[in-house]
Amino acid sequence: MKRRVVVTGMGTINPIGQNVEETWEGLITGRSGIGPVTRFDISEYGARIAGEVKDFDISQYIDKKNARKMALFTQFAVASAHQALKQAELMKEGSFDPFRTGVILGNGIGGFEVVQESTEDLIEKGPGRISPMTIPKMITNEGAGNIAIEFGLKGPCYIVATACASGTDAIGAALNSIRCNQADIIVTGGTEAAITKLAAAGFHKIHALSTRNDEPLKACRPFDKDRDGFILGEGAGILVLEELEHAKKRGATILAEITGYGITCDAGHITAPDPEGAGMARCMQYALDDAGIKPEDVDYINAHGTSTPTNDPIETKAIKTAFGDHAYKLKVSSTKSLTSHLVGGAGGLEAIISVLAIQNNIFPATYNLDTPDEGCDLDYVPNKVVPGKIDTVLSDSLGFGGHNGAIIIQRYKD
């Protein structure tokens, strides 16, 4: 028998909310976090909108002196972990065994702003003016490492880097780590902070970003025929996963259960998914098999739904392949239409949204879906949330490099 794994805490910093409650309120009211870029002069760029986190104050969570040693992606992760561990009632000394508690975090890019700033210093001022914190701040593992240091977590500690699938794959890795008895508690999810000059220019150069600059609130249009690219976002979504009996023994509140994980690689194009969605379909099937459920048991899919011309119809094909006739009976939506695309942080945030959908029995909507693409003919919950019983959710992510990840989240039943 597999050890059962449940969610006992959640935390998030993202463009529509700086905690779980704000995020859910934003989703059900249709509040978008997308707007003009304010971090730097964007006037010469083709894509000039993003999902920025506004008015973030790390000093609410940790000492400012320590925060200065962290890149923004790490600050987002540490703040979100603080929220999640607090909800899980794991902040008190002695509330967990540190060697049985770990961190598995998803991140795609690392401290991108540190790379950019340090490179500018190197060119303009010479090698002697580079900050000694350049490497410790920029490398991707520092998100996980700083969470472990901040909260004294001495179990497994590493990051998963599978581009936009990183957050989902980290949750899957955490699930399996607890199942195979490497740990009893894992802090997991994803984080990213890539709204920089370099990232904005680089993603635009490969025609990935929306250039609907005059209509930022309508720019992210998953599954709509007029979609033209994704919206670069930032933030973190962190969950506390815990072995069921361990959680019950300490009287923890159980929010949901993670029951399945699937992972595949297209092994095809470096930036585009398999044209038939075969890898993603197989990934979804593996997640269903791992959870021991049938396609018709799934009520809702929180889709990757990037609003790019390539992704959305291919993801739709994958859903049809994996779910057969049931694809037309379940509901599918992309919450990126409000949150933007958090890259390595997306899977963590969308896992939290999936848990909230189960708790509240509300299907999140796909906003700005006015005219569905002819290749996108499923029920994408257009423009307005819909109430309904939700017991089982599949949340999937795709990443550059052909990475596919999917997890199954279910209502907890003793």
Q: At what angle do helices 112-125 and 197-205 cross, to 10 degrees?
A: 110
244/175 Cα distance (integer angstroms): 12
Q: How far is residue 209 from each of residues 57, 204, 206, 212, measured CA to CA in Å? A: 28, 5, 8, 9
Any idea what DSSP says for residue 180? T
Does residue 204 have an active-site annotation?
A: no
Strands 300-302 and 392-399: parallel
Among candidate residues 82, 204, 246, 304, the one labeled active-site is 304
Any idea what DSSP says for residue 298? -
Among candidate residues 246, 341, 376, 403, the one labeled active-site is 341
Does residue 207 have an active-site annotation?
A: no
Pick from 57, 90, 89: which is nearest to 75 by CA?
A: 57
End-to-end CA distance of the chain: 15
* CB 18 within 8 Å of CB 271: no
Does residue 304 have an active-site annotation?
A: yes
Rounded to the nearest 10°, the torsion over CA 300, 301, 302, 307 is -130
Three-class SS of 43-67: CCCCCCEEECCCCCCHHHCCCHHHH
Among candidate residues 164, 220, 283, 376, the one labeled active-site is 164
Pick from 196, 192, 215: which is nearest to 204 by CA?
A: 196
What amino acid positions are annotated as catalytic residues? 164, 304, 341
